[in-house]
Structure formats: structure tokens, C-alpha cells
Amino acid sequence: MTLFGLENLPYGVFSTADGVRRIGVRLGGTVRDVSAIDDALRQPTLNALMALGRPRWTEIRSRITEVAPLSPAIPLAEVRLHLPFDVADYTDFYSSEHHAANVSRILRPQRPGLPAAWKHLPIGYHGRSGTVVVSGTPVERPHGQLAEGVFGPSARLDIEAEVGFVVGVPGRRIPTGRFAEHVFGVVLVNDWSARDIQAFEYQPLGPFLAKSFATSVSPWVVPLDAFATFPAVVQEPRPVSYLLPPGPALDVQLRVEWNGTEVSTPPYAQMYWTAAQQLAHLTVNGASVRTGDLYASGTVSGPSRGEAGSFLELTSNGTEPVKLADGSVRGFLLDGDTVTISATATGAAGTTIGLGSVTGTVCP
């Protein structure tokens, strides 16, 4: 059974030899051009569609389900995939308890443990929309201050395997119960991170240059309607009122490959804070979200080493390197290394659906 059947139909933006960008959906190993179905689909990005709101999303998706199987099938190998939406803003959260605990043990061994506010609110930082790039875009190794008086290229370049949420309908002070009215769909995210730059700069205001150089996203936006929903993890202490009810959890299983070798399988279903709570927290102070805003889950990690969503955790800050299929060993990323993050999820129809993949290769 295909991961990209009629119960999935993720949206993307593609071009063929003529270079014209069109909106299509993925069906199996092909792209189906759906731009003729609605004016909002006759655009070079998904933003106009995403701004329409849930009733129109449902109506258009129903029409696509009827039309797509009859449309000409264009093999994926014959198209170029583009960044599917114009990114208005980018926010990244820190919502895996396993990841937060692991990072504290590695980077703060003298005072391990979760930050004081961690179980009271979804901690996050404001990233840069201008450096969000589509899967396949080369990632240049960043430079920065690595220690007092030391400037140069990062020697501890890392990944963060994440799930991203794309805002369609603008709003502010969005309750958790209205999450599905505002969020259009889901992408995969690799929030590339320079750990040596991060370690020197992040106190007291958090990551800055260690994160802002590149964030890669998958080219397919899977509609929220394609996912099955599940109860969220139990949160103790009980969150304050604007974070309740917690909203739905999604059963997404990630897979991380390093130069073609599978090295970890992070489980998104174990995330402590939900996407609905993240959106509520992001807007509770009156801040607004716009069509095309992207916010990411934060690194997805499970309790075991084989479920780590970052190489910082997987290799214990480089002290326990992993062995790849070609016999080489790695602590952090070397120039020429390629990382691919892929994922599947439980779909609304009870089948397994695909989220595609996000790939990046490090260049000097």
C-alpha cells in the first residue's frame, strides 16, 4: 500500500522543464497538477490556499480527491520541488522532555535538570524566516565565535529532527480548541544547529547565530485532515487555563539517516507539549500569526539513544561516535555529509501515511 494514497494527498509546488511553478499533490510516486481546480491553486505558492480557512480547505480537498486520480501523472523524477509556501515567521519550540533532559546532562552536567519554567509553558525561540529552505538545498557550514577570542567555522555542526506546523488563517490569542481552524498542515523540519557556537552564546538569551543560518523543510505539506488524532501525554503539574485542553497528539514516527545509514527513529507521539498548546502560548500575549507562519515542535527524542533527534544526544557530544555503513565514524557532521529525515504517521483513515523527507548536504 502506498504512503501517498487518496487519504493523504499532500500539497507541494513543482515545476517541469518550462520552469513555471504550479501547485500539485503527490499521489504515489507521481505529482498531479491541481492548479485548474480553484483560483487559489493557480498560484506559485500555497499561501492563497492556506488563507481561505478550514471550510474551503475541506471543499477543495474533496474536489482534489475526485480529480487527482484522473489527472496526468508526472513522475517525481521529472519535476523540481520548491519551497511550498512563503514563510512569514518562524518559531521553534523545545517540547521533548527526553531531549531537554539529555541536553541538560550533556551541556550542563554541573546542574542538570529541566529549566524552571519547562513544565509550565512551551519554551521556544524566534528564528529567522529568511533562512528557511526547501529540502535538497545545500547547507553551508556556519562561522561564529566558538570561545572567548576564537572565531571560525563550527566544528560541532548538528541536526534537530522536528515536526513543523504551517499556519493558514491569521489570528491572535488562539485557544487550544481552535488549533485546527488556523493550522493548515504539517511539514518535516531539520533545524540545523552549531553546538559550539550555541554553547558560547546561548546564556542568557538563548540560541542566536547557532540556529539562524539554515532551517530545512520538506517540500510536501500534509493537510491536518489527513492525520488521526490521539490523547496527549499526561502533563503534571496541570497547565494553566489557556493551555487547556491540551489538544490532539499526532502519531508521527521519524527516521534519521546519516549518509544513508539509519541512526535513529525519534517518536513524535511522546512530545510533552502539543502543537495546539504551542500555538496558544505563541499568541497568548497578543502576538499575531500570519498566513505562512511556521512553528516547529523542537527536537523530537525518545528515552533511548536510538531515538535521539540530534547528534549531540546520539553521540554524547561527540564522545561516543556512531559507525556508519561505510565503516566511517562520526561525532558531528563533516563537510559532504548528507542527512535525510523522513516520517510516517497514522492517518485519519487508519492507514499509514507518508510525510516525505527533508534532506540537506553540508558544504564548506
Query: If you average pLDDT over residues 65-92, what whole number do you get?
Result: 98
Q: What is the pTM of this model?
A: 0.97
Give the type of residue at 201.
Answer: E
Query: Which tens digit of pLDDT belongs to each residue from 335-354?
Result: 999 999 999 999 999 999 99
Give 61's pLDDT tier (boundaries 50, 70, 90). very high
- Residue 217 gets which letter from DSSP? E
- Give yes or no for residue 1 having a pLDDT over 90: no
Query: If you average pLDDT over residues 28-37, what whole number do you get?
Result: 98
- Give yes or no for residue 205 having a pLDDT over 90: no
Report d(CA 76, CA 201) in Å as an integer: 42
pLDDT at site 324 = 98
Structure-block grid coordinates of residue 138: 545545500
Give the type of residue at 147.
Answer: A
Question: Which residue, 5, 4, 24, 191, is CA-closest to 92?
Answer: 191
- Give yes or no for residue 186 having a pLDDT over 80: yes
Q: Where are the domains of the chain?
A: 11-82, 90-363
pLDDT at site 232 = 95
Give 107's pLDDT tier (boundaries 50, 70, 90). confident
User: Which CATH class, in words, describes the domain spanning 11-82?
Assistant: mainly beta
pLDDT at site 304 = 95
If you write DSSP's letter for every residue of 125-165 in order, what string do you get? EE--GGGEEETT--EEPPEEEEETTEEEE-SSEE--EEEEE
Is 98 known to be catalytic? no
Pairing of strands 215-217, 261-264: unpaired
pLDDT at site 111 = 80
Query: If you average pLDDT over residues 65-69, what whole number do you get?
Result: 97
pLDDT at site 92 = 98
Burial class of residue 361 in the structure, from the number of CB atoms within 10 Å of its CB (0-12 exposed, 13-18 middle, 19+ buried): middle
Report d(CA 319, CA 264) in Å as an integer: 17
Report d(CA 93, CA 51) in Å as an integer: 24
Pairing of strands 252-258, 288-289: unpaired
pLDDT at site 204 = 85
Query: Which tens digit of pLDDT belongs to each residue from 130-184?
Result: 999 999 999 999 999 999 999 999 999 999 999 999 999 999 999 999 999 999 9
Q: Which residue has the cell 550542563?
A: 108
Question: Which residue, 314, 208, 308, 300, is CA-closest to 252?
Answer: 300
Structurally, what CATH architecture does the domain formed by 90-363 represent? Alpha-Beta Complex (3.90)
Q: How far is CA 213 from CA 4, 7, 32, 47, 269, in A?
A: 32, 36, 33, 24, 28
- Could you give phi then psi for residue 132, rounded to 5 degrees? -80, 125
Q: Looking at the DSSP assignment, which residues form a beta bridge with residue 347?
A: 227
- Give yes or no for residue 30 having a pLDDT over 90: yes
Hey, how many other C-beta atoms are within 10 angstroms of the C-beta on 14? Answer: 22
pLDDT at site 110 = 81
Catalytic residue among 99, 120, 126, 143: 99
Give the type of residue at 243.
Answer: L
Query: Which tens digit of pLDDT belongs to each residue from 286-305?
Result: 999 999 999 999 999 999 99
If you write DSSP's letter for every residue of 13-69 in order, what string do you get? EEE-TT---EEEEEETTEEEE-TTS-GGGSSSSSHHHHTT-HHHHHHHHHHHHHHGG
217: left (phi over 0), alpha (psi -120 to 50) or beta: beta
